[in-house]
Amino acid sequence: MERRRAGYRLLGTRDVPARLRAGMLLALDPDPGLARRGRADVVRLARDAGRPDRRRTSTPVPTGTAAERDDLARLARRAAPVLGDECVDLLTRWLRS
């Protein structure tokens, strides 16, 4: 478990798709603490991507190839029982934009 947690912390410096993938995989982790952390990070990323806030006038543009974005969308659907439908809908719309 410590190795997974340390690896996840290292991803904080990576691009959004890498953090999103890691967060979704961690949300599916059998360890409840790690799963909560992954879920919280994915929900935050989805909300940030889904709407601008007062400091940002536009939403971030998804990066990566169409195949990579499709793979992330499939992973989001797989993690739907943990992430919730609202989060998965936000992610799917953002990744398809």
pLDDT by residue (tens digit) across 14-43? 677 888 888 898 899 888 988 998 899 899
In the predicted structure, residue 13 carries a pLDDT above the cut 60? no
Q: What is the pLDDT of residue 76?
A: 93
pLDDT of 83 above 90: yes
Kindly tell me if the per-residue pLDDT of 88 is higher than 90: yes
Task: Tell me the H-state helices in 2-84.
Answer: 2-10, 16-27, 32-50, 66-78, 80-83
Burial of 35 per CB tally in 10 Å (0-12, 13-18, 19+)? middle
Indicate whether this model's pTM tops 0.85. Answer: no
